[in-house]
Amino acid sequence: TLALKTFCKPIAKQIKKEAGCHPQFRHSIIVFAQANHRFRTKLQRRIYGRAIDAAIRPLNEEKAVQAVADLLGELFLFTVVGTALVLEYQRSSNAEARKEAFRKQELEALKQHDEYLAREIEMLKHKLNEIEQVAKGQRLANIMNFGKSLSTYGGKNKAI
């Protein structure tokens, strides 16, 4: 912002210079400056508890023009700096919004992957259950076959 202020100072000086040169604008400036002077003087008198009915001497024309020209120059500076701040805030907000959107996309991708893995686990559990059932059936068959083979073996043994 310091560079911006340095850049704006010559422009503000030019505004001040032009403000004092144009006759109609100069008259408007003087009227505004006198009204501002009366307002500030009355306000100061109220704050300090002095009489506000007393006459207020007007500013001379050169002081009035200079006061408003300075005000215009400073107003220009504050406008430029304020605009720069607003634009920077918007840029920062947009960057943060993009980051947040990216985080949401990542989170959604993780949720989908988690759901996929949960389905995969359920499918594997089901397959394991089927394999266990087949294995139990084969064990029973083997036990049955083992019993049959013993009785057959036992029968042959008697015959020998």
Cβ atoms 13, 69 nearer than 8 A: no
Task: Note the pTM of the prediction, 2 decimals.
Answer: 0.51
- Given this model, what pLDDT does residue 22 score? 77
CB atoms within 10 A of CB 54: 10
Half-sphere exposure of residue 79: CA atoms within 13 angstroms, side-chain side: 8
Block means of pLDDT (10 residues each) for the chain, length 160 residues?
69 70 81 87 86 81 80 81 90 94 96 97 95 82 65 51
Q: Quick one: 26 exposed, middle or buried, by C-beta within 10 A (0-12, 13-18, 19+)?
A: middle
CB atoms within 10 A of CB 90: 10
What residue segments make up the domains of the chain, in order of their start? Answer: 2-159
- Given this model, what pLDDT does residue 12 score? 67
